C-alpha cells in the first residue's frame, strides 16, 4: 500500500468520525428542543388557574353567605345550623357540576367527617398552619396532583360572624346552638376558633385535564 493510499484512508476515517460527531450533536440538539417544547406545552398557566380558582371560591362563599344571612334574619340561628347540615354538600356538588370542577372545603378541625383532607390537602393545610404560627401571609397556591389534575388551594380564615357557630362554646356559641351542633355532628371539632384564624382551606380540582 502506497503512502498516498494510507493518507487517503486516514482522511476518510477522520471525515467519518467528524460526521458521527455532528450527527450526535444534531440528535442531542433535537432531543433538547423536543424536551423544551414538551415542558412548554405541559407547563400550566398558574395565573389563569389561580384567577379561576379565586372566582369559584368567592362565588361559592357568596352562595353560602346569602343563604345563611337570609335564614338567620327570617328564622334564626337554629335554622342556619339545620340548613348547613342538610344543604351544604348539595350546594357544593351543584356548583361543582356547573363549573366542571370538584369543590371541596376541608380542615384540620372538621365539623363534617365527609370533608376529610386527602394527602395533598393535608400538606397544604400543614403549611398554612405553619405560616399562621409564624404570622406570615397565607396566599392561594396552584398545584398538580399525581394524576395530573390541577388544584387551586386557598385559606379560609374565620370571619367574626362565624364565631356564633365556630367560636368558644358557652361564650360565642349559645348553649342551645352548641347542643344542636353536637347532635348534628357527633364528632365535631370545629369550635374554639378566634377571628382571623385558619378555619380550613378551599380545594378546587379542575376536571378539564388540559394540562395532564
Cβ-proximal residues to 8 (8 Å cutoff; 6+ apart), any chain:
none
**16, pLDDT greater than 90:** no
Give the pLDDT confidence score for residue 146 in this predicted structure.
Answer: 85
pLDDT at 38: 36
pLDDT reading at 43 higher than 70:
no
Neighbours of 166 (CB within 10 A): 23
pLDDT of residue 209: 61
pLDDT at 11 over 80: no
**Residue 12, pLDDT above cutoff 50:** no
Residues 134-171: tens digit of each pLDDT: 999 999 999 998 888 999 999 999 999 999 999 999 89
Sheet holding 141-144, edge to edge: 101-106, 198-206, 150-157, 141-144
Question: Which pLDDT band holds residue 130 (cuts at 50, 70, 90)?
Answer: very high
The per-residue pLDDT for 2 is 56
Residue 107 pLDDT exceeds 70: yes
Tell me which residue of 117, 63, 112 sits closest to 85, measured CA to CA. Answer: 112
Mean pLDDT of 110-136: 96
Average pLDDT over residues 56-70: 96
192-203: pLDDT as tens digits:
999 999 999 999
pLDDT digits (tens, 9 = 90+) for 71-85: 999 999 999 999 999
pLDDT, position 66: 95
Examine the pLDDT at 93 and tell me if it is beyond 80.
Answer: yes
Give the 3-state secondary structure of residue 155.
Answer: strand
Nearest C-alpha neighbor of 142 from the set 209, 61, 205: 205
Question: Where along the chain do its domains lie?
Answer: 46-206
pLDDT of res. 210: 52
pLDDT of 147 reads 87
**Residue 182's pLDDT is what?**
97
The whole-chain average pLDDT of the chain stands at 84
Which conformational region is residue 196 in: left (phi greater than 0), alpha (psi within -120 to 50 degrees), or beta? Answer: left
Tell whether the model's pLDDT for residue 176 goes beyond 90.
yes
Amino acid at each position: 500500500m502506497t503512502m498516498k493510499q494510507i493518507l487517503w484512508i486516514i482522511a476518510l476515517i477522520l471525515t467519518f468520525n467528524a460526521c458521527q460527531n455532528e450527527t450526535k450533536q444534531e440528535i442531542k440538539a433535537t432531543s433538547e428542543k423536543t424536551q423544551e417544547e414538551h415542558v412548554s406545552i405541559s407547563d400550566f398557566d398558574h395565573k389563569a388557574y389561580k384567577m379561576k380558582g379565586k372566582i369559584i371560591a368567592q362565588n361559592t362563599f357568596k352562595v353560602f353567605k346569602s343563604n345563611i344571612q337570609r335564614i338567620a334574619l327570617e328564622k334564626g340561628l337554629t335554622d342556619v345550623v339545620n340548613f348547613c347540615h342538610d344543604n351544604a354538600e348539595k350546594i357544593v356538588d351543584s356548583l361543582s357540576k356547573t363549573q366542571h370542577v370538584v369543590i371541596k372545603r376541608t380542615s384540620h378541625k372538621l365539623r363534617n367527617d365527609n370533608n376529610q383532607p386527602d394527602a395533598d390537602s393535608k400538606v397544604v393545610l400543614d403549611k398554612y398552619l405553619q405560616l399562621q404560627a409564624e404570622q406570615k401571609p397565607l396566599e392561594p397556591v396552584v398545584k398538580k396532583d399525581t394524576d395530573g389534575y390541577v388544584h387551586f388551594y386557598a385559606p379560609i380564615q374565620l370571619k367574626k360572624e362565624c364565631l356564633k357557630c365556630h367560636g368558644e362554646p358557652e361564650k360565642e356559641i349559645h348553649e342551645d346552638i352548641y347542643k344542636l351542633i353536637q347532635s348534628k355532628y357527633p364528632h365535631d371539632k370545629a369550635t374554639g376558633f378566634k377571628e382571623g384564624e385558619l378555619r380550613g382551606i378551599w380545594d378546587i380540582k379542575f376536571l378539564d385535564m388540559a394540562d395532564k
